[in-house]
Structure 1
Amino acid sequence: MQAHPVKIERHDTAARIHHTNTGQRPVDLYHTHERGLYVSRRFVDHPRIAYWQAHLLPDVIPLQDGTERLGIQLCRYDFHGERVHDYYIDIATITCQGDVWTVRDHYLDLLVWDGLCAEIADTDELNAALQAGFIGQSEFARAISAAHGVLNGLARHGYDVRAWLASQQLRLEWDLTTTVA
C-alpha cells in the first residue's frame, strides 16, 4: 500500500464550495444543525457516483479514555448502478471556524449495509500512513479506538444506523428531493 498524506477537506458554507484533494466542487445545499452540518452535492463525471449527501458530526464517538470525542462524516451515495452500500462512515476530526468546516480524515472508514452488517475499511492506509510518518502513534490509536467504537455501537443496534444515532440522542434528516435516480 502506497502511503498518502492525511486528506483534509473544507466546506465553505458561505461560498457553497466543497474543497477536496481533487479540486473545488459547487454544493447544492448546506444546512447547519444542532450537532453538525448537512451537505449535498452532485458528483459530475464520476464513473460510479451520481450524488452525495453527508452529515458532518464533530463529536459522535467517545474515545475509550473518555477525555475527548472524535467525529464522523456519515455519507449516503446515489450510485449510477447497483447500490454498493447504504452508508459510508469516515472517522474524522471535524472543526468549524466561522463559515468554514474542516474535515481531517483519519483513514479508517466503515461501510454499512443497514440492518445487516458493517465492516472497517482502509486499515492498510492507516498502517501505511503511520509507517510513512504522516500520522503519529497517538492519532493512529485514536483512529482505531474510534472505528471500533462505531462498529461496536452499530453491532449493539443491529447495524441500524438510525437506531445507533438515536442512542446518542441524534436524529438526522436527509434531503431526498435533491438526489439523482
Structure 2
Amino acid sequence: MHAVKVERHDTARSEHHTNTGVRPVHVYREHHHGLFVARPFLGHPKIAYWQAHLLPELGIQLCRYELHGGRREFDYYMDVAVIRRDGETWSVRDLYLDLTVWNGKRAQVLDTSELCAARLEGLVDEREALWAVERAHTILNELGQHDYHVDTWLDAQGIRLEWHEPVLV
C-alpha cells in the first residue's frame, strides 16, 4: 500500500512536484474554476503529454493524455482529490479513487480496493474516505445523466474548460 499521493504545482516557478521528482510545466493558466496544467511527460514509455484541470469545487483533477504513437484507451481520467491553493502553490491530495471516461459511451470507477486498503492502514481517515466515495459516485451518476459527455456534464455545473494544443517533443 502506498501513501496518499500529494502533488504540488508551483505556478511562480512553473514546476510540478510529484512523488518521482520535479518536472517543468509548459503552461499554467488559472481560471474561475481552478488551474489548467500542461506539460510533456519526458522519458515516459507511454505518455507523451499531459494536461489537467484542477477543479477544487468538484473535487477532481480532470486529465487528458497524449500517447506516443498510439490511441488512448479512454478520453478522460479523473483523480478524486482534495485540491487547495496557497498563494502561488496548488496542492493535490489524491484520494486513490479514479474515474475513466469514454466520452459519449461510458465511465467507470477505479481503485476502490486501494482506497479501502488505505483506510484500513490509517492512511486516510473515515471522513476523507467517505467524501471520496461520495464524490466518485456523484460524478459517475451525473455523467450518466449527461450520456457520459464530459463537456455537457461540466456545462451543467456552470464550467467551461479549454484545452491546450499539445507540444509533442
TM range (shorter): over 0.9
Matches within 5 A, 1:16-165: 16-60=14-58, 71-80=59-68, 81-165=70-154
Once the two structures are TM-superposed, the CA of residue 179 in structure 1 deviates from its matched residue by 3.7
Q: Which AA in structure 1 matches 2:93?
A: R
What is the DSSP-based 3-state SS (H/G/I as helix, E as strand, rest coil) of the residue aligned with 1:59? Answer: coil
> 1:9 — aligned with what?
7
In structure 1, stretches of 5+ residues that fail to align are 61-70
Number of residue pairs matched by the alignment? 168
Aligned CA-pair RMSD: 1.0
**Partner residue of 1:166?**
155
Which AA in structure 2 matches 1:7?
Answer: K
Displacement after TM superposition at 1:180 (Å):
2.5
Residues of 2 paired with 1:116 and 1:155: CA distance? 9
The answer on whether the counterparts of 1:78 and 1:179 sit within 8 Å (CA) in structure 2 is: no
**How far off its partner does 1:82 sit?**
2.3
Q: Structure 2 stretches of 5 or more lacking a match?
A: none
Whole-angstrom CA distance in 2 between matches of 1:55 and 1:86? 14
Partner deviation per Cα, 1:43-89 (whole Å, 9 max, x = no partner) = 011111000000000002xxxxxxxxxx1100000011221110000
What is the identity, as a one-letter code, of the residue corresponding to 2:3? P
